[in-house]
Amino acid sequence: MVTFGVVSLLADLVYEGARSVTGPLLASLGATAVVVGVVTGVGEAAALLLRLVSGPLADRSQRFWAWTLAGYALTVISVPALGMAGTLGVAAALVITERVGKAIRSPAKDAMLSFATSATGRGRGFAVHEALDQCGAVIGPLAVAAVLAATGNHYGPSLAVLALPGVLALALLVWLRSRARDPQEFEPHPHGASTPATGTSPSPGVRGLPPVFWRYAAFTAITMTGFTTFGVLSFHLVTTEVLLPAAVPVLYAGVMVVDAVAALATGWAYDHLGAPVLAVLPVVAALIPVLSFTTSLPLVITGALLWGIGLGIQESTLRATIADLVPTHRRGTAYGIFAAILGVATAAGGALSGALYQTSLALLIGLTIALQLLALIALTLTRAGHRVHD
């Protein structure tokens, strides 16, 4: 599990380094706030929706390593190419392509993580993995910021340096595959139902997934529809001159540190306290636009750090919960479908925040708060109908 975390550390160094400057890079090529919101939203949707295909295929083929390797390879290729993009269209396509790589690998990778973390605790296992992810997510933006400062804000060299950790990640992944060809051997009950602690009903829902899975997915979709993308936040920082372009990746690195800490804290809390921990996400998401879309540097930084807390919960505890709701043999499919639902919500959230940013900040803030209140109600109804975790 730790070695896999190192692979993710190196890969996050690559794609989080690129994501830290996606908004400013697109803006430098002539993008508006709406375009940035749509591109980043569609990119995240591609990273999630396409798992509807890659998840079931990973389950059916049982070739978890092949899907993981292919996805990482696509990311490693597209990020350095993004730095050489000369037009907005090409850059937008590469931003989305990088996210497609994540869609290809994630269900298989998450399924393997769920097998490996069955003995350590889902929350803690996924949280440790996310924390290692975020080490790379801190180093990557800082490396990009350093090269940007040294080259006079030229994005090409800044993204080209990310090719080396990408190659190292692929090499380590190949080595890891040679040491553990059958990841399901780590699951104590590889063909059983979900863990006894969840009390999940054996009666399947749509497509063989339990009904509680769909209720949980609905809660997640609502809260993420009201979750602003960092692309729009960074666009605001640069266009309002709150921060210089080279300073944005530094802030993003700080956000990634908060992400890691939040993942570890909520992962531990989930293992000990259960589903109520998830209520933190809607509360945090409601505060982000209130603080971020101002011209006060302290408020903007606070809002960005809250964004990191929300991302940490999303990337660790939300995913860990799925493993406690779904039988082992359906887990790749479950992660794929869950991510696809999340993708629709993320795309809507990116487009919504980008459009309302230019139209009415008051409306953007009010709608976000309303969505998060609805999400809290949905979480309460989900827990009333089924205890997600004891």
Task: State mean pLDDT over 334-351.
Answer: 81
Q: Smallest Cα–Cα separation from 389: which of 319, 334, 330, 324?
A: 324
Looking at residues 227-236, what average pLDDT do you find? 84
Least confident of 114-118, 158-162, 268-272: 114-118
Predicted confidence at residue 190, as pLDDT, reads: 45
Q: Which of 148, 144, 46 is nearest to 92 (CA)?
A: 46
Cα separation, 47 vs 101, whole angstroms:
7
pLDDT of 333 higher than 60: yes
Query: What per-residue confidence (pLDDT) applies to 290?
Result: 92
At 195, is the pLDDT very low, low, confident or very high (cuts 50, 70, 90)? very low
pLDDT of the residue at 207: 55
Question: At how many degrees (to 10) do helices 33-49 and 331-359 cross?
Answer: 170
Higher pLDDT, residue 367 or 192 = 367
Give 245's pLDDT tier (boundaries 50, 70, 90): confident
If pLDDT is split at 50, 70 and 90, which confidence band does 196 have? very low
* Fold adopted by 2-180+208-385: Growth Hormone; Chain: A; (1.20.1250)
Q: What is the pLDDT of residue 370?
A: 94
Residues 6+ apart with CB under 8 A from 82: 18, 25, 91, 94, 95, 98, 155, 159
Q: What confidence category does residue 64 fall into, taking pLDDT thresholds of 50, 70 and 90?
A: confident
Whether the predicted pLDDT of 208 surpasses 70: no
41 against 200, higher pLDDT = 41
CA atoms of 264 and 312, how far apart (whole Å): 8
Residue 363: CB partners within 8 Å, gap ≥ 6? Answer: 356
Give the C-alpha separation, 130 to 265, whole Å: 11
- 193 confidence band (pLDDT: 50, 70, 90): very low
Q: Which of 14-23, 154-163, 218-227, 378-387 has the lowest mean pLDDT?
A: 378-387
> Taking all residues of the chain, what is their mean pLDDT, rounded to a whole number?
81
* Confidence at residue 337, expressed as pLDDT on a 0 to 100 scale: 85
The C-alpha atoms of residue 200 and residue 364 are separated, in whole angstroms, by: 38
Helix axes 297-315, 230-239, angle to 10 degrees: 170
Percent of the chain topping pLDDT 90: 15
**Number of other residues whose CB lies within 10 A of the CB of residue 185:** 10
pLDDT at residue 47 is higher than 70: yes
What tens digit of pLDDT does each residue of 269-322 get? 887 787 788 899 999 999 999 998 888 899 999 999 999 999 888 877 887 788
Collect all residues with Cβ–Cβ distance below 8 Å to 178 and sequence separation of at least 6: none
Tokens of 31: 């993008």
Of 57-66, 124-133, 160-169, 171-180, highest mean pLDDT: 160-169
Evaluate if residue 385 carries a pLDDT over 50: no
What does pTM read for this prediction?
A: 0.65
Angle at 173 between CA 168 and CA 176, to 5 degrees: 125
